[in-house]
Amino acid sequence: MKDLSAKHILSDELIAAYLDGNATAAECLQVLQAMEHDAQLRERLRISLTVDAEMGLLLQQSHQLPTMAMAANCEEGSFCCLQCEKFILSRRAISYDEQQLLDNALRNGWLKENGTALHNVGRHLEQAGLSISQRYDCHLQDIAEALEQGHDVIVAVDGGELLGNAQLERIEDALLGEMPDHTVVVIACDMHAQTITVFDPNSSHQQDQYSFTQFANAWSDSRNYLVTAFFTKH
What CATH number corresponds to the domain at position 159?
Answer: 3.90.70.10
Both 32 and 81 in one domain: the answer is: no
| Structural domain boundaries, residue 26 | 1-55
- Using pLDDT thresholds of 50, 70 and 90, give the confidence band for residue 12: confident
Both 86 and 202 in one domain: the answer is: yes
| pLDDT above 50: residue 64 | no
Both 26 and 49 in one domain: the answer is: yes
Both 100 and 16 in one domain: the answer is: no
Query: What is the C-alpha to C-alpha distance for residues 198 and 6, in angstroms, rounded to an integer?
Result: 42
Both 99 and 149 in one domain: the answer is: yes
In this structure, are residues 124 and 82 in contact, taking their beta carbons and an 8 Å threshold?
yes
pLDDT, averaged across the chain: 80
Cβ neighbours of 229 (radius 10 Å):
24
In this structure, are residues 151 and 229 in contact, taking their beta carbons and an 8 Å threshold?
yes
In this structure, are residues 221 and 172 in contact, taking their beta carbons and an 8 Å threshold?
no
DSSP string, 113-132: TTEEEGGGTTHHHHHTT-EE
Per-residue pLDDT of 162-200, as tens digits, reads 887 666 666 666 655 667 889 999 999 999 999 999 999
Share of the chain above pLDDT 90, in %: 45
Domain count of the fold of the chain: 2
- Report the alpha-carbon angle 197-220-172, nearest 5: 110
Task: Identify which has the larger pLDDT, 27 or 70.
Answer: 27
**End of a domain among 17, 36, 55?**
55
Both 7 and 88 in one domain: the answer is: no
Task: Identify which has the larger pLDDT, 187 or 8.
Answer: 187
The predicted pLDDT at position 173 comes to 64
Phi and psi at residue 64, to the nearest 5°: -75, 150
| List of residues 6+ apart from 231 with CB closer than 8 A | 129, 130, 131
Both 66 and 38 in one domain: the answer is: no
Query: What is the C-alpha to C-alpha distance for residues 158 and 164, in angstroms, rounded to an integer?
Result: 10
Per-residue pLDDT of 102-139, as tens digits, reads 999 999 888 887 788 888 899 999 999 999 999 999 99
Both 194 and 128 in one domain: the answer is: yes
Both 32 and 84 in one domain: the answer is: no
Query: What is the C-alpha to C-alpha distance for residues 3 and 8, in angstroms, rounded to an integer?
Result: 10
Both 62 and 12 in one domain: the answer is: no
Q: Is residue 141 helix, strand or coil? A: helix
**End of a domain among 29, 55, 81?**
55
Both 119 and 49 in one domain: the answer is: no
**End of a domain among 16, 32, 55?**
55
Both 171 and 74 in one domain: the answer is: yes
